[in-house]
Structure 1
Amino acid sequence: MLLYLNAFLVCLNTAFWSVLICCFALIKMLLPIPALQRCVTRLCNGMMWAWATGNHKLLSFTSDVEWDIQGGETLKKDGWYLLICNHLSWTDIVVIFSVFRNRIPMAKFFLKQQLLYVPFLGMACWAVDMPFMKRYSREYLLKHPEKRGSDLETTRKSCERFRYTPTTVVNFVEGTRFTDDKKCQTRSPYNNLLPPKTGGIAYTLGAMGDQFDAIINVTLAYPDNRHLPFRDLLSGKMKKIVVRIDTLPVDENVKGDYFNDKVFKRRFHQWLNDVWEEKDVRLDGIYGDEQPEVEIPERRKTAV
Structure 2
Amino acid sequence: MSLIKGAVSLVLLTLNTLLWCPPLIVLALIKLLPVAWLKPHLLSALEWLANGWIATNNLWIRYWLKPDFRIELTDSLSSEQWWLVIANHRSWTDIFVLQYALTRRLPTPRFFIKRELLWLPVMGLAWWALEFPFVGRYSREQIRRNPGLAQRDRQATRRMCANARQRPMAIYNFLEGTRFTRDKHRHQQSPYQHLLRPRAGGCAQVIDLLGDRLAGIIDVTLDYRNGCSGFGAFLCGRSGTIHLSARHLDIPSWMREGDYFNDTAYRERFQAWVNAVWQEKDQQLSSRES
Which of these residues, 100, 111, 122, is aligned with residue 102 of structure 2? 100
Match for residue 159 of structure 2?
157
Which of these residues, 8, 13, 23, is aligned with residue 26 of structure 2? 23
- CA deviations over 1:202-222 (Å, ceiling 9, x no partner): 111111111111111011112
Which of these residues, 273, 277, 280, is aligned with residue 278 of structure 1? 280
Q: Say if 2:233 is the partner of 1:232.
A: yes
Q: Secondary structure at the match of 1:149?
A: helix
Per the TM alignment, residue 37 of structure 1 is displaced from its structure 2 partner at its CA by 1.2
CA distance 1:68–1:156, shift in 2 (3 Å): same
CA distance 1:128–1:184, shift in 2 (3 Å): same
Determine if contact 1:64/1:238 at 8 Å carries over to the other structure.
no
Which of these residues, 12, 16, 19, is aligned with residue 15 of structure 2? 12
CA–CA distance in structure 1, aligned partners of residues 210 and 246 of structure 2: 21
CA–CA distance in structure 2, aligned partners of residues 94 and 214 of structure 1: 22
Amino acid at match of 2:73: G
Q: Secondary structure at the match of 2:221?
A: strand
- CA deviations over 1:249-304 (Å, ceiling 9, x no partner): 12225322222333322221221111000000111123x15xxxxxxxxxxxxxxx
Per the TM alignment, residue 72 of structure 1 is displaced from its structure 2 partner at its CA by 2.4
Per the TM alignment, residue 140 of structure 1 is displaced from its structure 2 partner at its CA by 4.0
CA–CA distance in structure 2, aligned partners of residues 249 and 142 of structure 1: 34
CA–CA distance in structure 2, aligned partners of residues 196 and 282 of structure 1: 16
Determine if contact 1:152/1:199 at 8 Å carries over to the other structure.
no
Which of these residues, 109, 112, 131, is aligned with residue 110 of structure 1? 112
Per the TM alignment, residue 48 of structure 1 is displaced from its structure 2 partner at its CA by 1.0
Unaligned runs of 5+ in 2: none
Range moving further from structure 2, 128-137 or 87-96 = 128-137
Match for residue 262 of structure 1?
264
Normalised by the length of structure 1, the TM-score is 0.88
Per the TM alignment, residue 180 of structure 1 is displaced from its structure 2 partner at its CA by 0.6
Match for residue 248 of structure 1?
249
Which of these residues, 85, 107, 128, is aligned with residue 87 of structure 2? 85
Determine if contact 1:59/1:233 at 8 Å carries over to the other structure.
no
Note the 1:43-192 alignment, pairs <5 A: 43-138=45-140, 140-192=142-194
Determine if contact 1:42/1:165 at 8 Å carries over to the other structure.
no
Match for residue 202 of structure 1?
204
Match for residue 299 of structure 1?
none
Q: Secondary structure at the match of 2:255?
A: coil
Amino acid at match of 1:17: W
- CA deviations over 1:74-129 (Å, ceiling 9, x no partner): 21111100000000110000011111111010110111222222333222222222
CA–CA distance in structure 2, aligned partners of residues 20 and 146 of structure 1: 35
Normalised by the length of structure 2, the TM-score is 0.92
CA distance 1:144–1:261, shift in 2 (3 Å): closer
Q: Secondary structure at the match of 2:39?
A: helix
CA distance 1:265–1:144, shift in 2 (3 Å): closer
Q: Let me know the Cα RMSD of the aligned residues.
A: 1.8
Percent of aligned positions with the same letter in both sequences? 35
Unaligned runs of 5+ in 1: 290-304
Determine if contact 1:253/1:268 at 8 Å carries over to the other structure.
no
Per the TM alignment, residue 38 of structure 1 is displaced from its structure 2 partner at its CA by 1.0
